[in-house]
Amino acid sequence: MSDRLTIAIPSKGRLREPSWSLLEASGLAPEEPGERVLIAHCRNADVDVLFVRADDVPEYVQDGVVDCGITGLDLVREREGNVDILLELGYGTCSLQAAVPTEDTATSLSDLEGRRIATSHPRLAAKALADAGVNAELVKVVGSVEIAPRLELAEAIIDLVSTGSTLRTNGLRTLGTLFSSQAVLIGRVGEAMNEERATLITVLGSVVNARANRYLLCNVPSDAVDEVTALLPTKGSPTVMPLATPGVVALHALVPANAIWQLLPKLERLGATSILTLPVERMVH
């Protein structure tokens, strides 16, 4: 292996595009690969990106073929990859759920005792069932798990779900989440934290953190600052600056992106004006 840091990312499927865009947003400047190219060099850092199947990433990292990799946490656990989870990346979020046809009487996992369950995630499914003390027969299928009950291959399924629309379309009802997954950066177990690895974690982490937040700016009546501050779902203290107009201050704060929807009307009610929210490019705590 060369002394350039190598990172494996999924060559196709739903994790390819967001993984590539994370590397781009991180400023690594990976050179756009051609159709069949399996490796891309980065212009701004001594990093090479290898494209491999998402399922194979844990093994490549475990065996030291590459230094780091990006794949789904579900795949790491399903493949029993002996790797370190270095960073959660905030995309590719999905959950492993058990589901039955809507007309079925089951209401919880324990109601699947002694029944046949189709899955393409046999290890994760077996572990979830064992943890719940449920004995069931797992029927391993590759893809299109959700049609298994209709084909009478099984009475229930255990599958990855993100929006739940595939379940609904196929007349299935969830019995709940067994495992939550998202894309993760992984590294070889126990590998020393050398400078390149630490830099990669800091830089990717700065983009992941930034994406989850917005920079909020607004003008607030001076006597409402305490109330507005109490309202903000932020860890740190907001910045409050005087304005030329007496009785009004400018307030700046970093807020979680998913809180904006709830926050804006409340700010308006407290008299905030000129409310702006801006995307954040990078954020290092």
Query: CB of 151: closest distance to ligand AMP in angstroms?
Result: 20
8 part of the interface to ligand AMP, by CB under 6 A: no
248 touches ligand AMP by CB under 6 A: no
Contact 44, 86 (CB under 8 A): no
CB closer to ligand AMP, 169 vs 245? 169
The bridge status of strand 68-72 relative to strand 5-10 is parallel
Q: How many residues bind ligand AMP (CB under 6 A)?
A: 13
Residue 87 is a binding residue for ligand AMP (CB under 6 A): no
Q: Which is nearer to ligand AMP, 170 or 181 (CB)?
A: 181
> Nearest distance from residue 157's CB to ligand AMP, in Å?
12
User: How far apart are the C-alpha atoms of 220 and 240, rounded to whole Å?
Assistant: 9
What stretch of H or E contains 20? helix 16-25
Considering beta carbons, is residue 44 or 162 the nearer one to ligand AMP?
Answer: 162
Residue 106 near ligand AMP by CB under 6 A: no
Three-state DSSP at 218 gives: strand
Cβ contact 61:186 at 8 Å: yes
CA distance 272 to 261: 15
Give 276: exposed, middle or buried? Use CB within 10 Å, 0-12, 13-18, 19+. exposed
Site string for ligand AMP, 125-164 (x = CB under 6 A): -----------------------------------xxx--
Under the binding rule (CB under 6 A), the answer on residue 54 touching ligand AMP is yes
Least separation in angstroms between CB 10 and ligand AMP: 6
Closest CA to 65 of 53, 76, 77, 50: 50
Q: Kindly list the residues in this chain that would bind ligand AMP in the complex (CB under 6 A).
A: 13-15, 54, 72, 74-75, 92, 94, 160-162, 181
